[in-house]
Amino acid sequence: MANDGATRGGAATLPPGGIPTDGMIPTPPDFPVVWENPDDQRLFWERENMHFADQMSPLNASILQEAMVPGWNAAARYYELPVVGMRGLLINTYVYFGMMPVFASPEELAARARRSEEKFAAVLPRLGVLWAEEWLPEIKQHFAHLEGFDLASATMPALHAHLADALRRFQRLYEIHFLLGFVSALAMGQFEELYRDLFGKDGTFEPFKLLQGFDNKSLETDRAIWELSRKALADSEVRGAFAQGDAARVRAALGVTASGRSFLAALEGFLAEYGKPSDKFGLDTPSWIEDPAPVINALCAYLTQPEHDGAKKLAQLAAERDRLVADARERLKGYPQAVVSRFETLLAAAQIGTVLLEDHQFWQEQPQVYHTRRLLLEFGRRFAGAGLLVAADDVFFLTLDELRQTATDLAAQKTIADRQALVAARRAVRESFRHVAQPPVLGTLPPGPPPDSPFIRAVGKMFGQAELPITAPDILRGSAGSPGKVRGPAKVIRLLSEAEKLRPGDILVAETTMPPWTPLFATAAAVVTDTGGVLSHCAIVAREYRIPAVVGTGRATAIIRDGQIVEVDGDAGEVRISVLP
């Protein structure tokens, strides 16, 4: 990705003939782009808002380029997707990704598509076994190794070597992430299509009801927070501490009494097991272990809610699922055995995939971000101690190459370039683009749409459709994410630290949601997001919590204001915006 933290990117390698130079996409005046390599402008670049909605630091972008992108490309090669590879650029502090398609004859592309289909078909029935017997054990081995390294006592050369080792491990972990993620999304997408082919297209959410009611680590984390809230509710001194509202004041008040200190110990126990998430994907925000404010805010919200039985609700969803599965099997009697076998294979894979899309976040994504951030902050602490940076987290405004060079020069006691001035300049660039609208696409329009395939369609269901035009000033349109219709006051939340303003009956409006946001679904009456499709995290979790959701509106957080009354129609995929109360 970019080496200057602003507008430049690395070189691209295009095949002979490349992508036609016509169809250049104009850039807005307030979002100028400098293409370091002219070939970059000939690729099609898209903003990836669902996982990386916020501005990104140069160091985070460098890590993605050296770990995530090679992992994605390795998985794409394994499944023989119709791409040479993916690349990333940090453009004006925002991440854009570009795909380099395979240039081949129609016959060669068709043969590649057949091989890809065979690769996916071989993995689908083994998804659960691969996870339990191969991928998860390997993931645990990588993190056990990382946890066994003493960051604080390591010499600078040893720390530098550990960084190289960690990046190799992170690349492999991302490869596992995409090997799992590609096939899980495909299984869910193909099951939905088969279900509709067999039983008709009525009922937007009917196929997904056969995938509901399975426990996962996101729901488990939420239940653990709920149990903590019941512990707090049972003690008047602890309840009094939570009445302080602000997370920092709550922690201070808890430390004053014996029962409060006992509760803090319970909170620490929770964080030891569940505390590695941060607000969003990326290295720029602290984990719950570093800053437990999101957990404290969730506890504050739960203290206002009446008793409920989460296990009972999950059992009710499972019972409905089992009934619908039995009904589908009854309706399939008399069908050819090949059709029945296809149904059973896709049903099992889709059910497993639904769980693993959440569980792998707990076992792989969250610990990976946590350990990467800890490692990079150790460099930052040492650089700040040597006077090279003002604070440890300034390290995120360096690129990975700059970090390596700084570490090498510091160990060798060489003269080091002024890093404080560089960080200040990049902070200024970041601020200058903070409120600038980012074009959804840059570069050159592709010669045509991507080839139709079950995998491409599944990806579309996960990331959502293109932004829909406004047909009425008071209506936002997106994808139907979870059924139902609810009316209530909106609360726009961009960080979990803002979640304290969400109250029962409120409509959660967010750019995107990730597994750490799951506790908010127990409080919100409905959810509206800028990004995502029917297979996104937000849509799946909203269906599990039985609350309406409209996802992929494109602009909800920009248009809706706190306190506005909105009506969320999860069946129609529409949000009607009223005036301020």
Asked whether residue 205 is domain-assigned, the answer is no
Q: How does pLDDT run across 296-353, given as a tens digit for each residue?
A: 989 998 998 888 778 888 999 999 999 999 999 999 999 999 999 999 999 999 999 9
Question: Which tokens go with 407?
Answer: 């570490």
Cβ neighbours for 507, distance < 8 A, ≥ 6 positions apart: 486, 488, 489, 490, 491, 524, 525, 526, 527, 528, 566, 568
With CA atoms as reference, report the closest residue to 356 among 209, 187, 189.
187
Asked whether residue 447 is domain-assigned, the answer is no
Q: How many C-beta neighbours within 10 Å does residue 10 have? A: 14
- Run of H or E including 84: strand 83-91
Q: Last residue of some domain: 272, 295, 310?
A: 310
Q: Last residue of some domain: 259, 281, 310?
A: 310
Q: What percent of the chain has pLDDT over 70?
A: 94
Asked whether residue 286 is domain-assigned, the answer is yes
Asked whether residue 224 is domain-assigned, the answer is yes
CA 203 – CA 192 distance, rounded (Å): 11
Q: How does pLDDT run across 24-41, given as a tens digit for each residue?
A: 899 999 999 999 888 899
CA 480 – CA 457 distance, rounded (Å): 16
CA 261 – CA 226 distance, rounded (Å): 19
Q: Last residue of some domain: 310, 328, 361?
A: 310
CA 550 – CA 570 distance, rounded (Å): 5
Query: Which residue segment(s) compose the domain that 484 sits in?
Result: 464-577
Q: Three-state SS for 78?
A: helix
Asked whether residue 145 is domain-assigned, the answer is no
Asked whether residue 203 is domain-assigned, the answer is no
Q: How many C-beta neighbours within 10 Å does residue 234 have? A: 10
pTM attached to this predicted model: 0.91
Q: How does pLDDT run across 339-365, given as a tens digit for each residue?
A: 999 999 999 999 999 999 999 999 999
Task: Give the total number of structural domains in the chain.
Answer: 2
Asked whether residue 108 is domain-assigned, the answer is no
With CA atoms as reference, report the closest residue to 508 among 531, 495, 526.
526
Tell me the CATH number at 469: 3.50.30.10
Asked whether residue 322 is domain-assigned, the answer is no
Q: How many residues does the chain have?
A: 581
List the pLDDT tens digit at each of the 581 positions of the chain: 544 433 333 333 344 444 444 588 999 999 999 998 888 998 999 998 888 988 999 999 999 999 999 999 999 999 999 888 899 999 999 999 998 888 888 899 899 999 999 999 999 999 999 999 999 999 999 999 999 999 999 999 999 999 999 999 999 999 999 999 999 999 999 999 999 999 986 667 999 999 999 999 999 999 999 999 999 999 999 999 999 878 899 999 999 999 999 999 999 999 999 999 988 788 988 999 999 999 998 999 899 888 877 888 899 999 999 999 999 999 999 999 999 999 999 999 999 999 999 999 999 999 999 999 999 999 999 999 999 999 999 999 999 999 999 999 999 999 888 899 999 999 999 999 999 999 999 999 887 777 788 888 888 898 887 666 666 778 999 999 999 999 999 999 998 888 888 989 999 999 999 888 988 998 999 999 999 999 999 999 999 999 999 999 988 999 999 999 999 999 999 999 986 55
Question: Which tokens go with 533?
Answer: 């499709």
Strand-pairing partners, residue 434, are: none
